[in-house]
Every structure is written in structure tokens, then in C-alpha cells.
Structure 1
Amino acid sequence: MMLFAPLLLIAAAMGQATASAPKPDVVIWPHGVSPLGIKHKENFGNHGLSITVHDTSGIAEVHQATADVMIVQSGEATLVYGGEVIDAHSPSPNEVRGTGIRNGTSVHITAGDVIHFPAGMPHQWLLEPGKQITYLVVHVEEPTAAKP
């Protein structure tokens, strides 16, 4: 599937293993779905994978210590990013949530789009009633980002 070709580039960019470091097992998600189910999140040390399905608008969020790379598999939505999180609170270390984003940039996102959010970038999905968006997320720990 051409949609997952960017994953090869992402995997190569994250392959910082040295000759003496043990190599992790290969993990294959046939047709883009974890063998453990659509909601499963897989962690691999400095990065993780998950499939996310939204059928309603999401909350505003900021990940202070991880970057996100999203590969949209299906559907469409408006993505709002940047700006300031409204009613911001921190439910866990290095995570900020809120009800929306003020003064952000809005862009229409559809299947096949690939998005990179650096650590610290507010983002939120807005969906029209009856719409849905599904995407693969690669969460990458940023070594210079905030840590608890």
C-alpha cells in the first residue's frame, strides 16, 4: 500500500541503533492494524505506534516530550495547530489538554496526508457531523524535549 511508504523513511530516520545494541524484533501490522486490535498502542523504546479513529471532534492537546508523525489512512477532518490551548490543564507529566485552540492555523486533511508535529505543538481535530478520520501515529521521543 503506497500510504505506508512514508513509514520506511520514518523507520530509517529513527534507526539510531549501534552495532553493539540489540536489534528489536520486527513488528508487522497487516493492513495497518495491530494484531492485538485497532485500539492497541505499541511501544518500542524511543517511539511508539498506534491507530487512532475519530468520529467526533477531539480535544486540544500538546505533547511536551514527544513528536507525532501521523499518516492519514481514511476520512477527512480539519486540523488546527499552533496557537494557544484554551482552558489548558495537565492530566499527566509532559501532556497538556484543553477545550480548543485560539489563533491556530486550520487546514483540511484527507487520506494520504502525512503530518509531523514537533514536541510542544498544540493540535486538535475538528470533524463535521457524520465524518470520520483514521490515522496511524508514530510517537517519537525527542531527546531535547521536556522530561519529568
Structure 2
Amino acid sequence: MIPILRLFTFTVAFYPILQVEMPGFLRWSAEDLAGRQTALSNLVGADHSSRETLADYRNSSGAHRFRFIYRDADGVPEQHEFIEDVVFIQSGKAILEVGGELIDPSGRDGEFLGSAITGAERYAVGTGDILHIPADTPHRYLVSPGGQVTYVLVRVPVLTGEVFVREDAPSLELLPPGFAIWTASELGRRHEALSKQVGPDRSARETLADYGSPSGSHRFRYIHRDADGVPEIHDDIIDVVFITSGEGELLVGGEMLDRTGSRGSGIIAGRRHQVSAGDVLHVPAKTPHGYLVQDGGHVTYVLVRVPAFDSGSG
């Protein structure tokens, strides 16, 4: 059990449009996202889409930005030279065209739109799927008449510099190179496997993708817990979390006790937040946090490690 002193319990509904300050801890619950999806479906524009900004670090490159997007028809082809897209499909289904060549590109500062994509791969995507679209890769969503797809988009800065290959980095075999999709059904199977591999710390984990950042960013992990986790803090990493099954609490903020590296013995003056399947979480860098799980329960989640943003250099 994580020691907790001066603990405050509260429930907050977050409906930010733009963040003036650097975002703190944020939780978009499954219920919250469903409500937002309904609202966006009534705000569709001429391009058959609507969107809102969930959080924004105000990075001039356009990275470190969280968007919620609704589409009820095919999207315009796009390509981001300096941005990787991490996508959580909240509802609906579509065909993702990805890769190939953007036709009639127009734009600036690395952001381009086109009239079509030639030579693209096609993947069916649906509710609960998680995607990684590499930087500088053409892509678009194709939606059947009468259908819709709604998703959380996390804009991650492109990885540059020397690549560090870890031993647990899996081989990604899909095309285009660097693209990955973990369907809801696949994640369900992986969850079942992890639940049978729990170690002495009452957790099990696997690396879904590792794009080779020496800092440990640009890394996708799948983690299962059936008891409280050890408190953690990451100076240079933002945790983006997609809860795939189960429920628990996240103790976040406050002060780490007995810190050694990225871990500690407890958290004082932290706050508890309920988390459950379908939630999306943002844990800022330099923020103590630990998962709390009731006896007999579990929480399983995809963790995306995003490089921290230095506002002085953005």
C-alpha cells in the first residue's frame, strides 16, 4: 500500500478549450468523452468534421497537443513532417489510409494537406483501437455513409537524433515503416496473457513499440496491475495513459518519499482520481504518481511515454 498523508479526495470534470498554463494532471473519463462526442456530432462543419482541443502545451511546433475529433465522412489527406500521431479511437469505425505519397500537397512549416494519397496501405480501425502514425507519413480516415469515427489525437514531437535500440523493442512488421495498430481485440488477448504473468510486485508488462529514444520517450508499454504500484516520477517524460480494462485510483501530485531514480516509497499530499476502462489520462513530467488497486481487482493500460516540453525552448 502506498503511504498517503494529508490526502484529498475529489471529483473534477475537465472541459478545457485551451490551456493558458502548462497542463497539470488531466483525466478524460469514458463518460466525459462520450458526452463530448455527442456534442461534437451536433457541430459538424462543411468538411464533415468537428473538433476541440483538450489540452495544449503551446509548443510552437504544434506538438504536445491533445485533440478530440469527430468525422462522419472521409477526411482530407494530411501529412505532418515534425509530428507523430498517437490515436485512441473513442467510438465508431473507419478505414485508415496511411503511407504512400500525398497528391497536390499544399501548406507550410511541415504541415500539408492534399487532394488524395497514392500507394497507401489501408487498415480497418474501430472503437478501442490505438494507433501510431509516424511523422512525415500521409494519412486520412475514410468513413462509410451514415457512419462516424471519433478519436483522441495526441500530437507527439518527431524523434530525432541517434536511435538507441533496447533489447525488449519488438519488431514492427506493418507498413509503412513505423506504423502500428493495436486493436481492441488484440489488447484484450494481451491483457489475458499478462494477467497470467504477474510477478512479485503484482504487475506484468510488455513493450508494444519502442522507437529508440535514449531518454525512454517514444515508447509504448502495456501494463497490468492487480495491486498497488510503486510510486513513480519521471523528470523528462509525460505519461499518456489509455485505460483498457479494470478500474482503480491514481494517486498523483504531492511529494515523493525516499526517491531513488524514478521510484519512491510513498507519496504525501497527493490526490486520488478514479480511473477505469475507456479513460484517457495525462500525467505531467516531474509529477509523483502511483496506481491503487483494490483487493481482487485490476487495472490494465497502454502507457505512451511522451518527451517533456520545455516551455523556454518551444
TM-score, normalised on structure 1?
0.76
How far apart, CA to CA, are the structure 2 residues paired with 1:114 and 1:105? 17
Name which one, 1 or 2, has greater alpha-carbon Rg: 2
CA contact (8 A) 1:48 1:139 kept: yes
How far apart, CA to CA, are the structure 1 residues paired with 2:258 and 2:157? 38
Quick one: which of 258, 283, 291 aligns to 1:87? 258
Show the 5 A alignment for 1:128-139. Answer: 128-139=294-305
Quick one: which of 82, 98, 111 aligns to 2:264? 98
Gaps (5+ residues) in structure 1? 18-22
How far apart, CA to CA, are the structure 2 residues paired with 1:111 and 1:143? 28
Give 1:132's aligned amino acid.
H
Show the 5 A alignment for 1:40-79. Answer: 40-41=206-207, 42-44=209-211, 45=213, 46-79=217-250
CA contact (8 A) 2:245 2:276 kept: yes
CA contact (8 A) 2:206 2:223 kept: no
Give 1:47's aligned amino acid.
H
Q: How many pairs are equivalent?
A: 131
1:69-90 CA-to-partner distances (Å, cap 9, x unmatched) read 0011111111100001122212
How far apart, CA to CA, are the structure 2 residues paired with 1:25 and 1:86? 38
Calculate the aligned-residue CA RMSD, in Å: 2.7
How far apart, CA to CA, are the structure 2 residues paired with 1:106 and 1:3? 25
Question: SS of the residue aligned with 1:129?
Answer: coil
Structure 2 equivalent of residue 14 of structure 1: 156
CA contact (8 A) 1:3 1:71 kept: no
Change (3 A) 1:88 1:25: closer
Gaps (5+ residues) in structure 2? 1-125, 130-150, 160-175, 195-204
Give 2:306's aligned amino acid.
V
Quick one: which of 152, 165, 179 aligns to 1:26? 179
Question: SS of the residue aligned with 2:128?
Answer: helix
**Relative contact order, CA 8 A, sep 6+: which one is greater?**
1
